[in-house]
Amino acid sequence: MQERIRTIRLASWIALVGNFILAVTKVLVGFISGSLSVLSDGIDSSTDVLIALMTLFAARISAKPGDKEHPYGHGRAETVASAVIAFVVFFAGSQVLVSAIKAILSGERAVMPAPIALWVTVFSITGKLALSYSQFHFGKKAGSNMLIANGKNMRGDVVTSVAVLVGLALAFLTGIPVLDKILAILVALWIIKNAIGIFLEANTELMDGTADRGPYLDLFNAISSVPAAGNPHRVRLRRIGSMLVADLDIEVDPHMTVAQGHDIALAVEAAIKDAMPEIYDVIVHIEPNGNVEKEQYGLTASDAGISE
């Protein structure tokens, strides 16, 4: 766990320093060159600085062990941070969108941006590519959806910077400076799209849902290694940061003793934990073979796409 937290902190510091340099550079050049799209790109990078600070704070909280109020630990702090990241990015994109639309509707004569705007955009693309790669690399290494969400945000920033570069190039080639503002609108819409995507992923986890069937496949395969554990069903997985909690029912011979049923439950728990290192806890409910109790929630092997 400590190694994971160190990895998240390192990634967050890299994002913080890198985005601070990019943000200051682009905001200054945006003002100097008169390019609204470069200024908008700089504002977007400024939100990335706030996001990096947030990930550092979230990593500190998620490192705390479980307590009486939080028996499952504090891993959800990363998920909450991902949701907040989405709101920050959405707000930044909305501000850029409103500014660009106002600039076009104002009817003021557009001014051609200075050539330096092109060079700072090339610098931004290079820097964002490196930062995005670092977030994905460390996110996968630490199993942190928060870092991966930040990596997706930065990958989107690369696309927006490329759009800004294309817009500036077209403005210089055609002599139509309003293209810079039109590209700023497209940049803003892309930022908003990324924000919605990040929020939907975080919201799925906050609602104890998962779109990934991979862990379910691993879990059912682990249960199948315990022959006495029949008909695993009502299987539910919830994610808490990088960890998973499994809740499931199995059927056993009804003539077994309580102790024998308990031993089978322990064997199932051990098999799951051996097969899935990310498991935080396993809750196994024992039922007699052929139980016909109506059960509404959870998955069976067939639900998870496994042929029984």
The tens place of each residue's pLDDT in the chain, 308 residues long, gives 677 778 888 888 898 898 899 888 888 888 787 776 677 777 777 777 877 887 778 777 877 777 777 777 777 787 888 788 788 778 877 877 887 788 778 765 555 567 777 788 888 888 889 998 998 998 888 877 778 877 887 887 787 777 777 777 777 777 776 776 777 787 778 778 878 887 887 887 777 777 677 788 889 999 999 999 988 988 888 887 777 889 999 999 999 899 999 999 999 999 999 998 888 889 999 999 887 666 667 777 776 666 55
User: What's the pLDDT tens digit per position in 56-99?
Assistant: 787 778 777 777 777 777 777 878 887 887 887 788 778 778 87
User: What's the pLDDT tens digit per position in 114-148?
Assistant: 777 778 888 888 888 999 899 899 888 887 777 88
SS3 per residue for 139-177 = HHHHCCHHHHHHHHHHHHHHHHHHHHHHHHHHHHHHCCC
The dihedrals phi and psi of 88, each to the nearest 5 degrees, come to: -65, -45
So what's the pLDDT on residue 268?
94
So what's the pLDDT on residue 240?
79
d(CA 84, CA 81): 5
So what's the pLDDT on residue 251?
92
Sign of CA dihedral 45, 48, 49, 50: positive
d(CA 26, CA 118): 11
pTM of the predicted model as reported, rounded to 2 decimal places = 0.63
Residue 174: count of CB within 10 angstroms of its CB = 10
Query: CA angle at residue 257 from 280 to 254, to 5 degrees?
Result: 90
Half-sphere exposure in the Cβ direction for 86 (13 Å, CA): 21
d(CA 217, CA 232): 12
Q: Spell out the residues 6+ positions from residue 191 whose beta carbon is closer than 8 angstroms to its own.
A: 44, 89, 90, 92, 93, 96, 156, 160
Instruction: Specify the pairing of strand 243-252 against strand 230-240.
Output: antiparallel
So what's the pLDDT on residue 285?
92
d(CA 236, CA 161): 42
Residue 41 tokens read as 């790109």
Bridge partners, 243 (sequence order) = 240
